[in-house]
Amino acid sequence: MNFLKKAWFTYRQLKTWLQILIALVVIGLIGSVTGQSNSATSTKVSENKTSSSRVYSSTEISSFAINPATLSVKFRVTNDGTVPVTPDCTVKAKDASGTYSGFDIFSPVDPIKPGQSLLMVGQITITKQGAEFADQLSVNCVAQTMDTSSISGKQVSITNIEDCSDYDPDANEWWWGACFKGSGLSPMTQMDCTSQALNSKGEVILTDEFRANTLNDGSIIHYGTGGFPTTTKSKVKAIKSYKISCTL
pLDDT of 232-242, one tens digit each?
999 999 999 99
Do 109 and 167 lie in one domain? The reply is: no
Indicate the pLDDT class of residue 8, thresholds 50, 70 and 90.
Answer: low
Report the CATH number at residue 67. Answer: 2.60.40.10
Q: What residues make up the domain containing 83?
A: 53-145
Do 136 and 164 lie in one domain? The reply is: no
Do 127 and 195 lie in one domain? The reply is: no
- What does pLDDT average to over the chain? 85
Of the candidates 88, 78, 76, 57, the residue with the CA atom closest to the CA atom of residue 119: 76
Do 97 and 165 lie in one domain? The reply is: no
- Kindly provide the residue ranges of all beta strands, DSSP E only, lying in the chain, ordered along the sequence: 52-56, 58-67, 70-78, 88-94, 101-106, 117-125, 136-145, 158-163, 166-168, 173-175, 178-182, 190-198, 204-214, 219-222, 230-231, 241-247
Domain presence at residue 218: yes
Domain presence at residue 174: yes
Indicate the pLDDT class of residue 41, thresholds 50, 70 and 90.
Answer: very low
Domain presence at residue 69: yes
The whole-angstrom separation of Cα 245 and Cα 179 is 13
Do 207 and 129 lie in one domain? The reply is: no
Diameter of the chain measured on Cα atoms: 113
The whole-angstrom separation of Cα 180 and Cα 193 is 11
- The larger pLDDT score, comparing residue 31 to residue 126, is at 126
Domain presence at residue 104: yes
Give me the number of domains the chain comprises: 2
Do 119 and 73 lie in one domain? The reply is: yes
